Amino acid sequence: MSMDNIMINKSLAELSLGLQTGKFSSVELTQHYLDRINKFDGELNSFITVTDEQALTMAKTADEQIASGSATALTGIPMAHKDIFCTDGVRTSAGSKVLDNFISPYNATVVEKLKTAGMPMLGKTNMDEFAMGSSNENSFYGPCKNPWDLERVPGGSSGGSAAAVAAKLCPVATGTDTGGSIRQPASLTGITGIKPTYGRVSRYGIIAYASSLDQAGIFASSAADSALLTQAMAGFDPKDSTSVDIPVPDYSATLNDSLAGLKIGLPKEYFGEGLNSDVAKAVETAIEEYKKLGAEIVEISLPNTHLAIPAYYVIAPAEASSNLSRFDGVRYGYRCEDPKDLTDMYMRSRGEAFGREVKRRIMTGTYALSAGFYDAYYLKAQKIRRLVSEDFKNAFEKIDVIMGPVAPDTAFKLGEKTSDPISMYLGDIYTIALNLAGLPGMSIPAGMANNMPVGLQIIGNSFEEAKILNVAHQYQEVTDWHTKVPEQYSTEVK
Ligand code: GLN
């Protein structure tokens, strides 16, 4: 097979051109990814459900749209959805036994948008149950593996989407990020991930974890590809009262803007104790690259960083305990066998179907919201949240973007942290504050440490997705970390 036929390293723009010029059809392209899923996903476990038939039907429609001249830039390009997005007629499990039998009767707005854009859906990807976790080990469907080392985690909670994109089982996949679930798995698997500003992308039809923090975004192989998908996903949705009605800029138009004079803030709290020195080195090397591109480095302080984890792990479980009360065995989802009475049905349905981590969060959240403790925990956490937001607000008066590591370390071994939830939570130190403040952030591949990928985090001010995509793209124009593919997945199937 000539290099020309190799599809896995093509950008979305190249794939689109190939489709438009008839080099290959969407049916062929879709089949190519289905073959890869078939060949590799047994070991990776990145998909919970593969929707081959539906994908090929959508691909056929896409080919007709292309032939009739009504295609968009994304028509015919296959993709995958994290299994937290409701998909009409397809199981939507949220990684939980509770929803193992749930066939969604409608599409999430994001699903509808990408469908309308003509993207065939390959399937639904693995995730931590109800998006709670940082390793994908809390999935009812078993852990997903990191394509760079099958003994290591891909990160979480959107581990399946990250692993699938990293192993080239799909060109792009959706994710959600409540406390880091797009940026951290992107970092651990060496791909590009963007979490837009809270309210930029509709959350309608995304199974709720912590509603004041949840936001949908995308995993891709580059910032340029991410720009195209963010474009297709963003925008006001009357069905989501938290979505914001401001115009969506053309994210691809500013990718090539010069970075001369860009002010990059480096928070001193992001480079302190607990950060693996090899990860630090990779991040520092990336920052040197930005200096060459004309950026100016400014040391900043985000003094309340150390309070972000405790505040988040009160607020997120509190909201989760309320959101998850709907899974009671009455309307849909798992119901226990032969309940004695209503209370027995509630108790056993929930007791039998929720996993350990989800139960832990429900109990913590319920405790934090209870009458005697509300002020001490929930209210206090909300006050801290304000302080954390103020830190960013102050910083952005002096700088354009913030950079730092995404995670303190590279991907850890499966099982390494499962018995110690606190150490798992502490790994979210650099990602969580951004969600508390609602800001947009990215992870881009910026080197390797111990043979595993390292991500660079780029944080923008509210609604400045265009800026961080531009900043990410300029780095990817002069480096090739984003083009690296794990050896065993770098060849074509067949
Ligand atoms: N690791 C964090 C948690 O477990 C974040 C997860 C997420 O962003 N969905 O809550």
Residue positions counted in the chain: 494
Please state the rounded mean pLDDT for residues 427-439.
97
Collapsing DSSP to helix, strand or coil, 211 comes out as coil
Please state the rounded mean pLDDT for residues 7-20.
94
Q: Reply yes or no on whether 181 is catalytic.
A: yes
Q: Which of 122, 136, 129 is nearest to 184 (CA)?
A: 136
Ligand 1 lined by 193 (C-beta under 6 Å): no
Ligand 1 lined by 428 (C-beta under 6 Å): yes
Residue 393 pLDDT greater than 50, yes or no: yes
Tens digit of pLDDT for each residue in 207-219? 999 999 999 999 9
Catalytic, out of 82, 113, 168, 467: 82
* Rounded Cα–Cα distance for residues 334 and 62 (Å): 36
**Ramachandran assignment for 420, one of left (phi > 0), alpha (psi -120 to 50 degrees), beta (any other):** beta
Q: Are 223 and 442 in contact (CB under 8 A)?
A: yes
Can you name the residues that pair with 216 across neighbouring β-strands?
Answer: 176
Ligand 1 lined by 133 (C-beta under 6 Å): yes
Q: 438 CA distance to ligand 1 centroid (A)?
A: 14
Residue nearest to atom 10 of ligand 1 (CA): 132
> What is the chain's mean pLDDT, rounded?
96
Please state the rounded mean pLDDT for residues 234-257.
98
Residue nearest to atom 4 of ligand 1 (CA): 133
Q: How far is CA 281 from CA 70, 87, 95, 277, 294, in A?
A: 48, 42, 35, 6, 20
Q: Reply yes or no on whether 82 is catalytic.
A: yes
Catalytic, out of 157, 161, 202, 443: 157
Q: Are 316 and 213 in contact (CB under 8 A)?
A: yes
Q: Are 201 and 233 in contact (CB under 8 A)?
A: yes
Ligand 1 lined by 427 (C-beta under 6 Å): no
Percent of the chain with pLDDT over 70: 99
Please state the atom number of ligand 1 nearest to the C-alpha of residue 178. Answer: 8
Tell me the angle at which helices 26-44 and 159-166 cross, rounded to the nearest 10 degrees. 120
pLDDT score of 9: 87
Tens digit of pLDDT for each residue in 276-335? 999 999 999 999 999 999 999 999 999 999 999 999 999 999 999 999 999 999 999 999
pLDDT score of 4: 46
Ligand 1 lined by 181 (C-beta under 6 Å): yes
C-beta pairs of 92-95 under 8 Å, 24+ apart in sequence: 92/124, 92/207, 93/48, 93/49, 93/124, 93/140, 93/141, 94/127, 94/129, 94/130, 94/131, 94/207, 95/48, 95/126, 95/127, 95/128, 95/129, 95/130, 95/131, 95/138, 95/139, 95/140, 95/141, 95/157
Residue 1 pLDDT greater than 50, yes or no: no
Delineate the domains of the chain, giving CATH numbers in brackets. 4-265+397-489 (3.90.1300.10)
Q: Is 42 exposed, middle or buried (0-12, 13-18, 19+ CB in 10 A)?
A: exposed
Ligand 1 lined by 132 (C-beta under 6 Å): yes
| Higher per-residue confidence, 380 vs 491 | 380
Please state the rounded mean pLDDT for residues 385-396.
98
Ligand 1 lined by 469 (C-beta under 6 Å): no
Residue 494 pLDDT greater than 70, yes or no: no
**Which of 158, 428, 432, 439 for mutating ligand 1's site (highest number of atoms within 8 Å of CB)?**
428
Tens digit of pLDDT for each residue in 114-158? 999 999 999 999 999 999 999 999 999 999 999 999 999 999 999
Ligand 1 lined by 215 (C-beta under 6 Å): no
- Confidence class of residue 492 from pLDDT cuts 50, 70 and 90? confident
- Confidence class of residue 7 from pLDDT cuts 50, 70 and 90? confident
Q: 313 CA distance to ligand 1 centroid (A)?
A: 9
Q: 411 CA distance to ligand 1 centroid (A)?
A: 16
Q: 190 CA distance to ligand 1 centroid (A)?
A: 19
Tell me the angle at which helices 223-233 and 12-20 cross, rounded to the nearest 10 degrees. 70
Q: Which of 263, 264, 226, 230 is nearest to 249 (CA)?
A: 230
pLDDT score of 3: 40
Tens digit of pLDDT for each residue in 320-363? 999 999 999 999 999 999 999 999 999 999 999 999 999 999 99
* Rounded Cα–Cα distance for residues 172 and 166 (Å): 9
Q: Is 60 exposed, middle or buried (0-12, 13-18, 19+ CB in 10 A)?
A: middle
Q: 132 CA distance to ligand 1 centroid (A)?
A: 5
Residue 6 pLDDT greater than 80, yes or no: no
Tell me the angle at which helices 277-292 and 465-478 cross, rounded to the nearest 10 degrees. 90
- Token pair in block for residue 8: 């896995």
